[in-house]
Amino acid sequence: KNKTLTVLGLGDMGSALTRSWLAAGYTVTVWNRSPRRAPVGAAVAATVAEAVGANTLVVVCLLDDASVRATLDGVDLTGRDIVNLTTSTPAEARALAEWITARGGNFLDGGIMAVPSMIGAPDSGAYVFYSGSARLHETHAEALAVPAGVTYVGTDAGFAALYDIALLSAMWGMFAGATHAFALIGGEDISPVEFAPLMVAYQQAMAGYAFGTAAQLASGDYTQDVESNLAMMATTNDTLRRTALEQRVSPELLEPFMTLMERRVAEGGGKESTTGVVDLLRR
Ligand code: NDP
Protein backbone atom coordinates (compact mmCIF):
# COMPACT_ATOMS: atom_id res chain seq x y z
CA LYS A 1 0.00 0.00 0.00
CA ASN A 2 1.40 3.42 -0.92
CA LYS A 3 1.87 5.48 2.20
CA THR A 4 1.56 8.93 0.75
CA LEU A 5 -0.62 11.98 1.35
CA THR A 6 -0.88 15.75 1.08
CA VAL A 7 -1.33 18.19 3.96
CA LEU A 8 -2.63 21.71 3.32
CA GLY A 9 -1.77 24.04 6.20
CA LEU A 10 1.40 24.19 8.27
CA GLY A 11 0.10 25.99 11.32
CA ASP A 12 0.73 24.46 14.74
CA MET A 13 -1.73 21.64 14.12
CA GLY A 14 -0.96 21.02 10.43
CA SER A 15 2.74 20.79 11.26
CA ALA A 16 2.15 18.35 14.12
CA LEU A 17 -0.01 16.17 11.85
CA THR A 18 2.65 16.26 9.13
CA ARG A 19 5.44 15.29 11.55
CA SER A 20 3.41 12.32 12.80
CA TRP A 21 2.95 10.96 9.25
CA LEU A 22 6.60 11.55 8.38
CA ALA A 23 7.64 9.70 11.55
CA ALA A 24 5.41 6.80 10.52
CA GLY A 25 7.19 6.54 7.17
CA TYR A 26 4.68 8.38 4.99
CA THR A 27 5.69 10.49 2.02
CA VAL A 28 4.06 13.85 2.69
CA THR A 29 3.54 16.73 0.27
CA VAL A 30 2.75 19.98 2.03
CA TRP A 31 1.48 23.40 1.07
CA ASN A 32 1.07 26.56 3.15
CA ARG A 33 -0.26 29.97 2.10
CA SER A 34 2.78 31.88 3.29
CA PRO A 35 6.31 30.48 3.42
CA ARG A 36 6.80 28.53 6.63
CA ARG A 37 9.51 26.15 7.70
CA ALA A 38 8.14 22.76 6.61
CA PRO A 39 8.80 19.72 8.81
CA VAL A 40 12.04 18.02 7.75
CA GLY A 41 11.40 15.40 5.09
CA ALA A 42 8.21 16.91 3.69
CA ALA A 43 8.01 17.81 0.00
CA VAL A 44 6.90 21.42 -0.36
CA ALA A 45 4.50 22.13 -3.22
CA ALA A 46 4.58 25.57 -4.85
CA THR A 47 0.82 25.78 -5.39
CA VAL A 48 -2.36 24.32 -3.93
CA ALA A 49 -3.10 22.67 -7.28
CA GLU A 50 0.29 20.97 -7.27
CA ALA A 51 -0.18 19.76 -3.68
CA VAL A 52 -3.70 18.46 -4.36
CA GLY A 53 -2.57 16.84 -7.60
CA ALA A 54 0.25 14.97 -5.85
CA ASN A 55 -1.87 12.53 -3.82
CA THR A 56 -5.34 11.04 -3.61
CA LEU A 57 -5.54 11.67 0.14
CA VAL A 58 -5.54 15.40 0.92
CA VAL A 59 -5.71 16.47 4.58
CA VAL A 60 -6.75 20.08 5.14
CA CYS A 61 -5.94 21.83 8.43
CA LEU A 62 -6.42 25.58 8.04
CA LEU A 63 -7.71 28.32 10.31
CA ASP A 64 -11.43 28.18 9.57
CA ASP A 65 -14.06 27.26 7.01
CA ALA A 66 -13.54 30.46 4.99
CA SER A 67 -9.82 29.74 4.60
CA VAL A 68 -10.58 26.20 3.38
CA ARG A 69 -12.90 27.51 0.67
CA ALA A 70 -10.48 30.28 -0.30
CA THR A 71 -7.71 27.68 -0.62
CA LEU A 72 -9.60 25.01 -2.59
CA ASP A 73 -11.56 27.40 -4.81
CA GLY A 74 -10.78 26.77 -8.46
CA VAL A 75 -8.65 23.69 -7.77
CA ASP A 76 -9.45 20.44 -9.58
CA LEU A 77 -10.69 18.04 -6.90
CA THR A 78 -11.74 15.21 -9.22
CA GLY A 79 -11.24 11.89 -7.46
CA ARG A 80 -9.51 13.49 -4.47
CA ASP A 81 -10.25 12.23 -0.97
CA ILE A 82 -10.48 15.42 1.08
CA VAL A 83 -10.21 15.02 4.85
CA ASN A 84 -10.92 18.35 6.53
CA LEU A 85 -9.46 18.72 10.02
CA THR A 86 -10.27 22.43 10.21
CA THR A 87 -12.63 23.31 13.06
CA SER A 88 -16.03 24.38 11.75
CA THR A 89 -19.71 24.38 12.65
CA PRO A 90 -21.92 21.39 11.68
CA ALA A 91 -23.68 23.45 8.99
CA GLU A 92 -20.36 24.66 7.58
CA ALA A 93 -19.12 21.06 7.38
CA ARG A 94 -22.30 19.90 5.61
CA ALA A 95 -22.11 22.78 3.13
CA LEU A 96 -18.42 22.10 2.53
CA ALA A 97 -19.23 18.42 1.88
CA GLU A 98 -21.67 19.51 -0.86
CA TRP A 99 -19.21 22.05 -2.25
CA ILE A 100 -16.41 19.44 -2.43
CA THR A 101 -18.55 16.65 -3.89
CA ALA A 102 -19.99 19.06 -6.48
CA ARG A 103 -16.37 19.51 -7.60
CA GLY A 104 -15.83 15.77 -7.94
CA GLY A 105 -14.08 15.23 -4.62
CA ASN A 106 -14.96 12.91 -1.74
CA PHE A 107 -15.35 14.34 1.74
CA LEU A 108 -14.67 13.33 5.31
CA ASP A 109 -14.80 15.91 8.08
CA GLY A 110 -12.87 15.70 11.33
CA GLY A 111 -12.87 17.42 14.70
CA ILE A 112 -9.56 17.14 16.55
CA MET A 113 -9.89 16.48 20.28
CA ALA A 114 -6.29 17.28 21.15
CA VAL A 115 -3.63 19.98 21.21
CA PRO A 116 -0.63 19.73 18.85
CA SER A 117 1.72 18.22 21.46
CA MET A 118 -0.63 15.21 21.80
CA ILE A 119 -0.57 14.46 18.06
CA GLY A 120 1.37 11.31 17.18
CA ALA A 121 2.15 10.66 20.83
CA PRO A 122 1.03 7.18 21.81
CA ASP A 123 -1.24 7.05 24.87
CA SER A 124 -1.78 10.83 24.80
CA GLY A 125 -5.52 10.22 24.62
CA ALA A 126 -5.72 12.30 21.44
CA TYR A 127 -8.46 11.37 19.03
CA VAL A 128 -10.38 12.81 16.11
CA PHE A 129 -14.13 12.64 15.50
CA TYR A 130 -14.77 11.81 11.85
CA SER A 131 -18.00 11.93 9.88
CA GLY A 132 -19.00 11.93 6.24
CA SER A 133 -17.92 9.41 3.62
CA ALA A 134 -17.78 5.92 5.16
CA ARG A 135 -15.68 4.79 2.22
CA LEU A 136 -13.01 7.40 2.96
CA HIS A 137 -12.98 6.47 6.61
CA GLU A 138 -12.43 2.81 5.67
CA THR A 139 -9.99 3.36 2.78
CA HIS A 140 -7.72 5.60 4.81
CA ALA A 141 -8.17 3.94 8.21
CA GLU A 142 -4.45 3.20 8.52
CA ALA A 143 -3.28 6.71 7.65
CA LEU A 144 -5.94 8.38 9.80
CA ALA A 145 -4.91 6.32 12.83
CA VAL A 146 -1.32 7.67 12.73
CA PRO A 147 -1.74 11.15 14.32
CA ALA A 148 -4.50 10.25 16.80
CA GLY A 149 -7.27 7.82 17.63
CA VAL A 150 -10.20 7.58 15.21
CA THR A 151 -13.82 7.91 16.31
CA TYR A 152 -16.19 7.71 13.33
CA VAL A 153 -19.64 9.09 14.17
CA GLY A 154 -21.59 8.54 10.96
CA THR A 155 -22.21 9.61 7.40
CA ASP A 156 -23.67 13.03 8.28
CA ALA A 157 -20.74 15.35 7.47
CA GLY A 158 -21.87 17.70 10.23
CA PHE A 159 -21.69 15.20 13.08
CA ALA A 160 -17.92 15.32 13.67
CA ALA A 161 -18.16 19.08 14.17
CA LEU A 162 -21.27 18.68 16.32
CA TYR A 163 -19.64 16.11 18.64
CA ASP A 164 -16.48 18.23 18.76
CA ILE A 165 -18.26 21.48 19.63
CA ALA A 166 -20.64 19.76 22.09
CA LEU A 167 -17.65 18.46 24.05
CA LEU A 168 -15.90 21.83 23.85
CA SER A 169 -19.08 23.46 25.15
CA ALA A 170 -19.13 21.06 28.11
CA MET A 171 -15.51 21.98 28.76
CA TRP A 172 -16.32 25.71 28.68
CA GLY A 173 -18.86 25.09 31.45
CA MET A 174 -16.20 23.33 33.49
CA PHE A 175 -13.72 26.18 32.91
CA ALA A 176 -16.37 28.73 33.89
CA GLY A 177 -17.07 26.92 37.16
CA ALA A 178 -13.36 26.66 37.99
CA THR A 179 -12.88 30.34 37.14
CA HIS A 180 -15.64 31.35 39.56
CA ALA A 181 -14.24 29.06 42.26
CA PHE A 182 -10.75 30.58 41.97
CA ALA A 183 -12.29 34.06 42.15
CA LEU A 184 -14.14 33.10 45.35
CA ILE A 185 -11.00 32.04 47.20
CA GLY A 186 -8.93 34.79 45.56
CA GLY A 187 -9.14 37.42 48.27
CA GLU A 188 -8.29 35.02 51.10
CA ASP A 189 -5.19 33.43 52.55
CA ILE A 190 -5.81 30.26 50.54
CA SER A 191 -3.22 28.90 48.14
CA PRO A 192 -4.73 28.28 44.70
CA VAL A 193 -2.07 25.61 44.23
CA GLU A 194 -3.32 23.73 47.29
CA PHE A 195 -6.95 24.33 46.41
CA ALA A 196 -6.65 23.04 42.83
CA PRO A 197 -6.33 19.30 43.62
CA LEU A 198 -9.50 19.49 45.75
CA MET A 199 -11.38 21.12 42.89
CA VAL A 200 -10.10 18.70 40.27
CA ALA A 201 -10.99 15.67 42.41
CA TYR A 202 -14.49 17.06 43.03
CA GLN A 203 -15.07 17.82 39.36
CA GLN A 204 -13.93 14.32 38.46
CA ALA A 205 -16.22 12.80 41.09
CA MET A 206 -19.19 14.80 39.75
CA ALA A 207 -18.48 14.32 36.05
CA GLY A 208 -20.51 11.10 35.96
CA TYR A 209 -23.64 13.15 36.59
CA ALA A 210 -23.98 13.33 32.81
CA PHE A 211 -24.82 9.59 32.72
CA GLY A 212 -27.89 10.28 34.86
CA THR A 213 -28.93 13.15 32.59
CA ALA A 214 -28.48 10.91 29.54
CA ALA A 215 -30.59 8.11 31.06
CA GLN A 216 -33.35 10.60 31.90
CA LEU A 217 -33.28 12.15 28.42
CA ALA A 218 -33.48 8.65 26.92
CA SER A 219 -36.42 7.55 29.11
CA GLY A 220 -38.19 10.90 29.10
CA ASP A 221 -38.69 10.58 32.88
CA TYR A 222 -36.72 13.41 34.43
CA THR A 223 -37.59 12.31 37.97
CA GLN A 224 -35.97 8.89 37.48
CA ASP A 225 -33.23 8.14 40.05
CA VAL A 226 -33.00 11.76 41.18
CA GLU A 227 -30.58 12.14 44.07
CA SER A 228 -30.51 15.93 44.38
CA ASN A 229 -33.73 17.45 43.18
CA LEU A 230 -33.91 20.77 41.41
CA ALA A 231 -35.99 22.47 44.12
CA MET A 232 -33.22 21.76 46.66
CA MET A 233 -30.51 22.83 44.21
CA ALA A 234 -32.35 26.06 43.41
CA THR A 235 -32.44 26.86 47.12
CA THR A 236 -28.66 26.37 47.20
CA ASN A 237 -28.41 28.99 44.43
CA ASP A 238 -29.17 31.63 47.02
CA THR A 239 -26.22 30.55 49.13
CA LEU A 240 -24.01 30.64 46.03
CA ARG A 241 -25.22 34.19 45.26
CA ARG A 242 -24.75 35.45 48.83
CA THR A 243 -21.28 33.87 49.05
CA ALA A 244 -20.28 35.59 45.80
CA LEU A 245 -21.55 38.89 47.25
CA GLU A 246 -19.65 38.35 50.53
CA GLN A 247 -16.45 37.56 48.62
CA ARG A 248 -16.99 40.54 46.28
CA VAL A 249 -17.11 38.26 43.26
CA SER A 250 -19.44 38.79 40.30
CA PRO A 251 -21.90 35.89 39.97
CA GLU A 252 -22.21 36.50 36.22
CA LEU A 253 -20.71 33.15 35.19
CA LEU A 254 -23.16 31.18 37.34
CA GLU A 255 -26.21 33.42 36.96
CA PRO A 256 -27.49 32.14 33.59
CA PHE A 257 -27.55 28.51 34.74
CA MET A 258 -29.06 29.35 38.14
CA THR A 259 -31.78 31.44 36.48
CA LEU A 260 -32.68 28.54 34.19
CA MET A 261 -32.83 26.11 37.13
CA GLU A 262 -35.21 28.44 38.95
CA ARG A 263 -37.41 28.89 35.88
CA ARG A 264 -37.74 25.11 35.57
CA VAL A 265 -38.72 24.86 39.26
CA ALA A 266 -41.27 27.65 38.77
CA GLU A 267 -42.73 25.68 35.87
CA GLY A 268 -43.20 22.60 38.08
CA GLY A 269 -39.90 20.77 37.63
CA GLY A 270 -38.84 20.83 41.28
CA LYS A 271 -38.78 17.05 41.63
CA GLU A 272 -36.53 16.61 38.60
CA SER A 273 -32.76 16.95 38.39
CA THR A 274 -31.25 19.52 36.00
CA THR A 275 -32.32 17.57 32.90
CA GLY A 276 -35.38 19.75 32.26
CA VAL A 277 -33.06 22.70 31.63
CA VAL A 278 -32.06 20.95 28.39
CA ASP A 279 -35.65 21.41 27.21
CA LEU A 280 -35.66 25.06 28.26
CA LEU A 281 -32.59 25.67 26.10
CA ARG A 282 -34.07 23.85 23.12
CA ARG A 283 -37.25 25.92 23.05
P1 NDP B 1 -2.58 28.22 13.28
O2 NDP B 1 -3.09 29.59 13.56
O3 NDP B 1 -1.30 27.79 13.88
O4 NDP B 1 -2.45 28.03 11.69
C5 NDP B 1 -3.44 28.50 10.82
C6 NDP B 1 -3.18 27.97 9.43
O7 NDP B 1 -4.25 28.41 8.57
C8 NDP B 1 -1.89 28.48 8.82
O9 NDP B 1 -1.36 27.46 8.00
C10 NDP B 1 -2.37 29.66 8.01
O11 NDP B 1 -1.52 29.98 6.94
C12 NDP B 1 -3.65 29.11 7.46
N13 NDP B 1 -4.57 30.13 7.00
C14 NDP B 1 -5.22 31.07 7.73
N15 NDP B 1 -6.02 31.82 6.95
C16 NDP B 1 -5.86 31.34 5.69
C17 NDP B 1 -6.42 31.69 4.43
N18 NDP B 1 -7.32 32.68 4.32
N19 NDP B 1 -6.04 30.98 3.35
C20 NDP B 1 -5.16 29.98 3.45
N21 NDP B 1 -4.59 29.59 4.61
C22 NDP B 1 -4.95 30.27 5.71
O23 NDP B 1 -3.77 27.24 13.66
P24 NDP B 1 -3.66 25.68 14.07
O25 NDP B 1 -2.74 24.99 13.14
O26 NDP B 1 -3.42 25.59 15.52
O27 NDP B 1 -5.16 25.23 13.82
C28 NDP B 1 -5.60 24.76 12.54
C29 NDP B 1 -6.97 24.15 12.74
O30 NDP B 1 -6.88 23.09 13.68
C31 NDP B 1 -8.01 25.15 13.26
O32 NDP B 1 -9.24 24.96 12.63
C33 NDP B 1 -8.10 24.78 14.72
O34 NDP B 1 -9.36 25.08 15.28
C35 NDP B 1 -7.85 23.27 14.67
N36 NDP B 1 -7.44 22.76 15.97
C37 NDP B 1 -6.34 23.31 16.58
C38 NDP B 1 -6.01 22.91 17.86
C39 NDP B 1 -4.84 23.52 18.57
O40 NDP B 1 -4.72 23.31 19.78
N41 NDP B 1 -3.96 24.21 17.89
C42 NDP B 1 -6.80 21.90 18.58
C43 NDP B 1 -7.87 21.33 17.81
C44 NDP B 1 -8.19 21.78 16.56
P45 NDP B 1 -0.38 31.11 7.09
O46 NDP B 1 0.83 30.43 7.67
O47 NDP B 1 -0.16 31.58 5.69
O48 NDP B 1 -0.94 32.18 7.98
Q: What is the pLDDT of residues 29-42, one digit of tens each?
A: 999 999 899 999 99
Domain boundaries, position 244: 163-282
Domains: count for the chain: 2
Q: Are residues 22 and 123 in the same domain?
A: yes
Q: Are residues 260 and 202 in the same domain?
A: yes
Angstrom distance (rounded) from CA 69 to CA 61: 12
> Does 34 sit in the ligand 1 pocket, CB within 6 Å?
yes
pLDDT for 2? 77
Name the pLDDT band for 1 (thresholds 50, 70, 90).
low
Q: Are residues 216 and 185 in the same domain?
A: yes
Residue minimizing CA distance to atom 46 of ligand 1: 34
DSSP state, residue 38: P
Q: Are residues 131 and 203 in the same domain?
A: no
Q: Are residues 89 and 187 in the same domain?
A: no
Residue 75 in this model has a pLDDT that exceeds 80: yes
Domain-terminating residue out of 121, 154, 187: 154
pLDDT for 129? 98
- Over residues 178-182, the mean pLDDT reads 98
Mutate which of 7, 17, 18, 62 to test ligand 1's pocket (most atoms within 8 Å of Cβ)? 62
Structure pTM? 0.94
Q: Are residues 149 and 209 in the same domain?
A: no
Domain-terminating residue out of 101, 124, 154: 154
Which CATH number is 9's domain given? 3.40.50.720
Domain-terminating residue out of 94, 129, 154: 154
Angstrom distance (rounded) from CA 170 to CA 113: 13
